Structures are given as C-alpha cells and as structure tokens.
Structure 1
Amino acid sequence: MLFFVGAPLAIAAFLPATVMFSALFALTAIGLILLHATDGFHWRDLRYGWRKINWWMVLKFTAMMLALCLVVILIFAPDQMFNILKRDPRLMLMIFTLYPLVSALPQEIVFRPLFFRRYGEILPSGQAALVLNAAIFSMAHLMYWSWIVAAMTFAGGLVFAWAYEKQQNFPLAVVLHGIAGNLIFLAGLGIYFYSGNVTRPF
C-alpha cells in the first residue's frame, strides 16, 4: 500500500510542479507491472462488461456531473466557465478524444483492479473498502493542493469504485471516469487540475 500512499505524498511534498506528471506516468507504469504480476489477474478480464452497462444510468450521471461542475465553477471561478471551449475549441475536442484513453483508462487500471485485486485480502469489508479506495484516489491528486480537487476526486472515486467493485464492471468505471474528466475540463474546472497553477501551502 506504500505505492498508493507514500508515493503521492512524496510527489506532492517534494517534487517541483514541472516534473509531477512525469512522476505520475512512472508510477502508473509501476502499477501496471504490479498488476501484471498479481496472482489470478488476467488482462482479458478488463474487457468484459460493455454489454451490461446501463446507458440510461450513464446519461443521468452525465447530467448530474455537468450540473455539479457548472455550480462549482459559478461559485468559485465564474470567469473561467467554458474557458478552453471558448479559447480553443480544437483543444477541447482533443481533450474529449484523448482524456478517456490516456488519463481515465490508466488511472482506472491502477486504482481499481490493482487496488482491489492485489490488496483485496487486507482491505476492510463492504462499503469501507470503497471509501478507502476513494480516499486513496483523492490522495493521489494531493499534488494540486486544492480542496476542490480533493472533494471532487473523492466523490468520483466512490462512484468509480462502486462501478468496478460492486457492479463488477471495469468498462463502466472507465466510461464514468472519462465523462467526469471531460466535463470538468468543459466547464472550466481544469484550472484546478493544471500543474502550472500548483501552489504549495509551505
């Protein structure tokens, strides 16, 4: 579990913002190696679940997530609403296309299958495991030093953990994560997830 706790704390506390993402990519690579070495894990298992996705539920999640993002941006940074879309629509399209694949997918692999499969025997039972997973997912974003990021990633972590562990549906977790991330950037909340804006409190 040092991988999930110690590494994010070290990155947030000691590494300069310019190398944070490089460190995260390196940790992701290590996580993939650990998952590959986990007894009983098979990569092919991750592809199952597409046919079981409740797309009506996904649509409702999308609507609620968009509403949440708009409320947050209106309260805390109204001048940044739809900033990327207004400034560079092509960049917004690129984010919509790439984020689910290059960010949501690897994050879900590391924070869901690796967490629940490799360390399942030492996790608490029931809902406590989901809460712990969400807390660790939120901690992984500590490097942004933003309570908004911490709160949103904790809430998102609960949803994604529920999709993976309770619904037994990895594709659903990736879909929900991809939608959430894209809506965050669409609304303008990407300013809180940008390493160039990181200011440590010490």
Structure 2
Amino acid sequence: MSEQGELTRAAVPEMRLRLEFGAFFIAAPLLIAVLFPPNWMFPALFAFTGLGIILLHNTPGFSWAELRYGWRNWSWREVVLFTVAMAAVCTVLVKATRPDAAFFLLIHRPEMLAFIWVGYPLLSALPQELLFRPLFYRRYHGILPTGRAADVLNAAIFSFAHLMYWSWIVAVMTFAGGLLFSWAYRKRGSFFYAVLLHAIAGNIIFAAGLGIFFYSGNVQRPF
C-alpha cells in the first residue's frame, strides 16, 4: 500500500469522529432548537441521550466501571461552599430578572419541588453528564484541543445544547456550569462528583425560581 494510502486509512477514523462530533453536538441541538415544537423537545432529547449512550458504550477502551473512579477525591467542603454560592447567585439572579417567580415552587408547590428534586438528578443531571463529560472527553479526545481549551469547548458545547430555551440566562448559566462540571470530572477524576454538583445546581435553580427559564412551555423563539 502506498504512503498516501496509509495516510488516508489513518485519517478515516478521525474524519468520522469529526463528522460524528459535529452531528451530535452541533447539528442535533440546532435542529431541536430551530425546528422542533416545544412539546417535542424532551422526546427528542431522550432519543439524543439514548444515541449518546450507545456511542459511549462503543467507544474503544471505555468501560462503564471507570465511572466509579475518584470517590476519594471528593471534597465535602467544596460541596458546601458550592451549594451556598449557588443559592446566593440564583437568589440574586431571580430577584433581578423574574422577582414574581422567586421561590414560587418552594412556597406554593413544595410537593412539585420535591418531585423535581428526586427526579432531576436521575433523569437530567446523570444523562447529561454521561454525554458531556465521558462521551465528550473519552470518545473524541483525539480531535479535541489540548489543555484548558478543551474545557472551554466543552462548556460552549454544553451551553449550545441548551439553545432550545432561547435564553441568555440559560446560556450563561450552562456555560459556567459546563466549566465547573468539566473541572469536577477531569481534575477531581470523578464522574459522580460532576453529577452531584450538577444535581445540586439544578435543584437550587428550581427552588429559587429560575426553573421558569428551563421550562419548555415558556420557550419563545426569536423568529
């Protein structure tokens, strides 16, 4: 086989990963945000999640057992500080943007808030972390930029995946969250630490009243 043939053969997997990455992390969220009616968004996201899990399962060298790693790297001091800071930020933000929604569920619908607090970690935080941390970093590591740039790209992709809400508040919060959860996964070496922080963040968002920006029924496209 010629040297050019060897190079072509070697380039095929990388090209496939690039196309796959673009379709999964860019094209799919864009189509969901632009074309899908609000009541179709969550079924589409569940399908998106299922595909991502299949891709992760078929990633060479990946083992589901590795998700258990890093328990000893957890810091409960960090968890407490993050919880307090998140509560303070969400309180200020909801008071500044939607004071009418501040702590609405906590005051008026505590049973619904309790349901969200139980369901969000399992049905939202966990699957999102699978897609945007192990899948992103393990399957596509060969085409990612190096160092901190990979984490910034991860946060940008995570924020872009929430485009369907068409909210600058959602965009900013998910970008910041993406940086934090990426740090928990990469620097602390623990997938479930990232899940825990994500779950705490989401539950505080809904308790504070910012969940109004993350509700598909409130989506208003700018076109």
* TM range, smaller chain: over 0.9
2:116 paired with 1:120 = no
Deviation at 1:49, TM superposition (A): 2.1
The match for 1:156 among 177, 180, 185 is 177
2:53–2:131 contact (8 Å) kept in structure 1: yes
Partner Cα separation in structure 1 for residue 190 and residue 130 of structure 2: 12
5+ long unaligned stretches in structure 1: none
Partner Cα separation in structure 2 for residue 125 and residue 52 of structure 1: 23
Partner Cα separation in structure 1 for residue 39 and residue 115 of structure 2: 22
5+ long unaligned stretches in structure 2: 1-20
Amino acid at match of 1:79: D
Amino acid at match of 1:103: S
Q: Secondary structure at the match of 1:95?
A: helix
2:155–2:174 contact (8 Å) kept in structure 1: yes
2:31 paired with 1:10 = yes
Amino-acid identity (%)? 61
2:30–2:163 contact (8 Å) kept in structure 1: yes
Deviation at 1:98, TM superposition (A): 1.5
Partner Cα separation in structure 1 for residue 188 and residue 75 of structure 2: 11
Number of corresponding residues: 202
Deviation at 1:52, TM superposition (A): 2.1
Larger mean Cα displacement after TM superposition, 80-89 or 184-193: 80-89
- Normalised TM-score (structure 2): 0.89
Listed one character per residue, the Cα deviations across residues 81-107 of structure 1 (whole Å, up to 9, x for unaligned) are 111112211111111112111110010
For the aligned residues, what is the CA RMSD?
0.7
The match for 2:152 among 112, 117, 131 is 131
Q: Secondary structure at the match of 1:184?
A: helix
Partner Cα separation in structure 1 for residue 49 and residue 143 of structure 2: 22
Q: Hey, what does 1:42 align to over in structure 2?
A: 63
Deviation at 1:50, TM superposition (A): 2.4
Partner Cα separation in structure 2 for residue 181 and residue 136 of structure 1: 18
Q: Hey, what does 1:30 align to over in structure 2?
A: 51
Deviation at 1:168, TM superposition (A): 1.3
The match for 2:165 among 124, 129, 144 is 144
2:69–2:189 contact (8 Å) kept in structure 1: no
Partner Cα separation in structure 1 for residue 96 and residue 145 of structure 2: 37
2:122 paired with 1:101 = yes
Amino acid at match of 1:92: L
2:70–2:188 contact (8 Å) kept in structure 1: no
Listed one character per residue, the Cα deviations across residues 56-84 of structure 1 (whole Å, up to 9, x for unaligned) are 01110111111110010010001111111
Q: Hey, what does 2:105 align to over in structure 1?
A: 84
The match for 1:110 among 131, 134, 143 is 131
Deviation at 1:47, TM superposition (A): 1.6
2:214 paired with 1:193 = yes
Amino acid at match of 1:86: I
